[in-house]
Structure 1
Amino acid sequence: MNSYANNVVRSRRDWLKSSGCGFGSLALGSMLAEQKAQAAPAVDHSLRARTPLLPARAKRVIFIFMQGGPSHVDTFDYKPDLIARDGKTIDFTGVRFNSFGKVSQRTLMKPLWKFRQYGNCGQHVSELFPEIAKHVDDLCFLKGMHTEGVAHGPSTLFMHTGATNLVRPSLGSWLMYGLGTENQSLPGFVQLQPSDTKGGPRNYSNAFLPSVYQGTAIGRASRSIDQMTIDHIRNPVLNDAETESRFRLTQQLNQAQLQRRTEQDDRLEAVIKSYELAWRMQNKAPGILDLSEETATTQEMYGIGSKPTDAFGRQCLMARRLSESGVRFVQINYADESPNPRWDQHSNMPKHMEHATATDKPVAGLLADLKQRGLLEDTLVWWGAEFGRTPFNQSNDGRDHNPRGFTVFLAGGGVKKGFSYGSTDEIGHEAVDGKVHMHDLHATVLHALGLDHEQLTYRYAGRDFRLTDVFGRVVKDIFA
């Protein structure tokens, strides 16, 4: 080969050597450039577990989301006055679009189900939740909840991110940012069967936090429970050896690109770490997601195998397996993709029984299983929705949205057992005593895991952001 040809070959080789990483980095560089221009200073964005700054009562959170808003006055907030005044009218100042700020008369409607007292604490629970009622001595009820937003979309987004209309990091992402994960082979933040509406992926987004803190969706509300798995967890074409070979080559190119940079690039490092996590998940996650490893007795405890409870029971059991394996934040979603979410009964309150039947035994099974395994003490369980429902009727046998007063319950994580905090007024309309805003609940959840909501900040676009914005207080009275 003549010298010219040798030079051409050498030039081509040199060119490929110097630019091989560049092809892949062009798209990546454009994605990272804008974020980097506004990003926070260099900090540790690894997924390693971090020591909390405050004494931590809990290590992890399981959030059981009842999409649509169960009626507190039909479930856990017993109001004798509402029963006595059934059918009477009251002046009500509207919070919905067609009546906002206007005073109109509304007809009160008593609960459709009878209440009984349970446990040593004497907590009232309606006929909707006979299985959860057996666990009231382990529960902490917050009955003075109130929140922002009057429609499902804004209120659901606010419940997850602390903002009604902005792209902000979700609670799970903030926990990951503050504490990392306990298992380097699994994501630290998981959403089971999330809805693609009412906030959709923004409800588990990292927003401006590094991408390693984004939630991982397992399944979708629009899919059957049989499809509750991680998409593309296995390569359908390549065998294990070929898959590993391609992964190693990709990471070598990524590392070469990283080393060529003259300054530290946290975003590029985060992307590389996400590839590493994805690789480890291929080996670890399939086993965690396989519920067949559980005994028949355990599956029956969750209602698996019984048609009304099977789907939600599988979510609850999956949540326990993920939490037990070191996942920091697991959200269970009783959700769908309809315009009116599951618990949203504007004209058919009796349908509450259908949803209660589907979720009562699985939730009770989760509480019992966590307790018998010694996991409840350091796992904070949160059951609740984006808002409650009104004490007056709508369309004869329905109830409207009510962000002014509603109930959630907590369990484990150092909260008081068999305890009720706060209250709504005599008919269950507004929170009046022991009021807990959603910002306060966020601050309290972070506090339970050893994080100060005022100190857990991230600098972006020239200001320090936090989950609770400039609000929030820790409800210390609920801790034992």
Structure 2
Amino acid sequence: MNEFHQLPNCQSITEPIDTQKYLNMIHLHRIQDTLNRRIFLRGGAAAASAIAMSSLLQNDGFAASDSSLGLPGFPNFAPKAKRLIYLFQSGAPSQMDLFDPKPGMKAHHGEDLPESIRQGQRLTTMTSGQKKFPVAPSIFQFAQHGESGMAFSELMPNMAKHADKWCMIRSMHTEAINHDPAITFCQTGNQLAGRPSIGSWLSYGLGSENQDLPAYIVLTSFGSGRPDDQPLYDRLWGAGFLPSKHQGVKFRNQGDAVLYLSDPPGVSRETRRSTLDRLAALNQQHRQVVGDPEIDTRIAQYEMAFRMQSSVPDLLNTSDEPQHVLDSYGSDVTRAGSYASNCLLARRLIERDVRCVQLFHMGWDHHGGLPKALRGQCNDTDQATAALLSDLQARGLLEDTLIVWGGEFGRTIYSQGSLTETNYGRDHHPRCFTVLMAGAGVAGGVTIGETDDYCYNIVSDPVHVHDLNATIMHLMGVNHERLTYKYQGRDFRLTDIHGNVVKAALA
């Protein structure tokens, strides 16, 4: 009623009123008020952005004229590694079957895991109902390799040839006991989804050295050991609350490597270029009004996609590779989307100065039928991983490229379900597992940490996931405590409030 009193020509509430007329007038007044507020705010935002834009964009990593540059002051010190290849073995490889031999367990075959070893530690729902936890010794033979005498299973003969290049960390541990939170934790430093991934942090802090490819690229493959293994989600390489330009770009295994990269039929490069120029002009005008740094991301990503139309086909065309190089990766190298093919592609990306390349190889989740499944996984990965190291070294790239090989947690010494030499499985085990590192700045031929006789608990030199991530950052020239991002009133970082550099892993 108050609004009716304030309208013109309305002298008294008792006078006859054309209801529809006055409702229309109210509606028009409200529209005018809204427009006035928007005009005021737009003008204020434009004036404020003229003063604050430089500072705002600096804080979000967009101030430099070259949007590929990282943050000021990064790297914090001379890096040992300029690039990272993270060979993530999704599903959790069995450490006691591959890297951590426990020959004494043969004498305890089928015995129940002693309570003094388990110490009441949590179990997954898959084995919590078991009344007994029969010890399942590895059926695979181990041997020492290289001058260092590093132990490898017979399933890893090619990786074993590089024993003196690897740093083997046997004392890795984590809090997560199920796959998704564990992989999320390895990637982001937190079990809950939504934080930036390690590749995104590196892109944010260090930027890119290649104008024609993203700083962070992800490749995935399915293992022959278990084709129906745990799924992967795009958020694992997401940017979280960082500017979205830093998220990982996943290359597909079939069809176009990147969707919508090809121009539609009838659209020429000139037309595409003209369209992007017009879009960029509109986005620039919008940015001046609202001051949103994500608009810079949008502009940069449009331009990146345009450049990738030329760079990606060249990258994927391996016809220039010598036959002996192709042969070194194994016969699977010609199958798009295989682990071997992705390892070769990783080397080609590193050659082009892509900052971070992650390979996710699925199929390591062996709750049953482990002997056969593990052979399949190692057949997928062993030769190609070794070939990648040799190839990088031959091209002088290993000296400034960091290689990491590992999964999200380990496997139990006790069998899940059936226990025979041909059919036993292992449950998830976060208390100890093995990760390998090689390349730039890594102490080769070094084994860090020790587990107990049952490969169940760590007895010396524990290394947490936060410690591993802090060490990766350190080798990339980043102090993990300094690479932060303010979000919702708090400074976040990859290692949260934890993490110590594993100095024994440094050359």
- For normalisation by structure 2, the TM-score amounts to 0.80
Q: Which residue of 2 aligns with 1:202?
A: 235
Change (3 A) 1:161 1:96: same
User: Is 1:436 matched up with 2:436?
Assistant: no
Match of 1:389 among 404, 408, 411: 411
Deviation per residue, 1:47-67 (Å, 9 max, x gap)? 225641122110010001111
Q: Which residue of 1 aligns with 2:302?
A: 275
Q: Which residue of 1 aligns with 2:205?
A: 178
Q: Distance in 1 between matches of 2:314 and 2:426?
A: 43
Opposite residue 256 of structure 1, the aligned amino acid is Q
Q: CA deviation at 1:310?
A: 8.2
Greater Rg over alpha carbons, structure = 2
Change (3 A) 1:470 1:49: closer
Q: Which residue of 1 aligns with 2:148?
A: 121
Change (3 A) 1:308 1:275: closer
User: Is 1:318 matched up with 2:341?
Assistant: no
Map residues 306-385 of structure 1 onto 2, 5 A cutoff: 311-335=338-362, 342-350=363-371, 351-385=373-407
Which 4+ runs in 1 deviate beyond 4 A?
Answer: 99-105, 194-199, 305-310
Match of 1:422 among 449, 460, 472: 449
Deviation per residue, 1:325-364 (Å, 9 max, x gap)? 01111001112xxxxxx11111111110011111111111
SS, match of residue 399 in structure 1: strand
CA contact (8 A) 1:142 1:408 kept: yes
Q: Which residue of 2 aligns with 1:56?
A: 79
SS, match of residue 392 in structure 1: strand
Map residues 66-215 of structure 1 onto 2, 5 A cutoff: 66-89=89-112, 90-91=114-115, 92=118, 93-98=120-125, 105-193=132-220, 198=231, 200-215=233-248
CA contact (8 A) 1:317 1:366 kept: yes
SS, match of residue 155 in structure 2: coil
Q: Distance in 2 between matches of 1:103 and 1:474?
A: 39
Opposite residue 250 of structure 2, the aligned amino acid is A
Q: Distance in 2 between matches of 1:373 and 1:121?
A: 25
Match of 1:65 among 88, 97, 112: 88
Map residues 447-462 of structure 1 onto 2, 5 A cutoff: 447-462=474-489
CA contact (8 A) 1:48 1:184 kept: no
User: Is 1:249 matched up with 2:272?
Assistant: no
User: Is 1:217 matched up with 2:250?
Assistant: yes
Q: CA deviation at 1:308?
A: 9.6
Deviation per residue, 1:24-56 (Å, 9 max, x gap)? xxxxxxxxxxxx9xx998342332256411221
Q: Distance in 2 between matches of 1:471 and 1:364?
A: 33
Q: Which residue of 2 aligns with 1:47?
A: 68
Structure 1 stretch displaced more, 93-102 or 157-166? 93-102
CA contact (8 A) 2:61 2:70 kept: no
SS, match of residue 135 in structure 1: coil
Change (3 A) 1:308 1:188: closer
SS, match of residue 193 in structure 1: strand
SS, match of residue 315 in structure 1: helix
Calculate the aligned-residue CA RMSD, in Å: 2.6
Q: CA deviation at 1:162?
A: 0.8
SS, match of residue 138 in structure 1: coil
Map residues 20-39 of structure 1 onto 2, 5 A cutoff: none
Match of 1:231 among 233, 251, 259: 259
Q: Distance in 1 between matches of 2:257 and 2:435?
A: 29
CA contact (8 A) 1:94 1:101 kept: no
CA contact (8 A) 2:144 2:152 kept: yes
Change (3 A) 1:144 1:317: same
Q: Distance in 2 between matches of 1:332 and 1:182?
A: 20
Change (3 A) 1:114 1:194: closer
CA contact (8 A) 2:332 2:341 kept: no
- For normalisation by structure 1, the TM-score amounts to 0.85
Q: CA deviation at 1:394?
A: 1.1
Q: Which residue of 1 aligns with 2:24?
A: none
Opposite residue 344 of structure 1, the aligned amino acid is D
SS, match of residue 491 in structure 2: strand
CA contact (8 A) 1:193 1:228 kept: no
Q: CA deviation at 1:432?
A: 2.3
Q: Distance in 2 between matches of 1:418 and 1:309?
A: 33
CA contact (8 A) 1:304 1:311 kept: no
Identity across the alignment (%):
39
Gap runs ≥5 in structure 2: 1-52, 223-228
Q: CA deviation at 1:307?
A: 8.6
Q: Distance in 2 between matches of 1:162 and 1:150?
A: 15
Deviation per residue, 1:253-303 (Å, 9 max, x gap)? 2223233x2x64322122211212122211222211222221221111111
SS, match of residue 144 in structure 2: strand
Gap runs ≥5 in structure 1: 1-35, 220-224, 336-341
Change (3 A) 1:43 1:49: closer
Q: Distance in 1 between matches of 2:475 and 2:131?
A: 42
Deviation per residue, 1:96-144 (Å, 9 max, x gap)? 3438999964211111211111111111111111111111111100110
Change (3 A) 1:228 1:117: farther
Opposite residue 451 of structure 2, the aligned amino acid is T
Q: CA deviation at 1:246?
A: 1.5
Opposite residue 210 of structure 1, the aligned amino acid is P
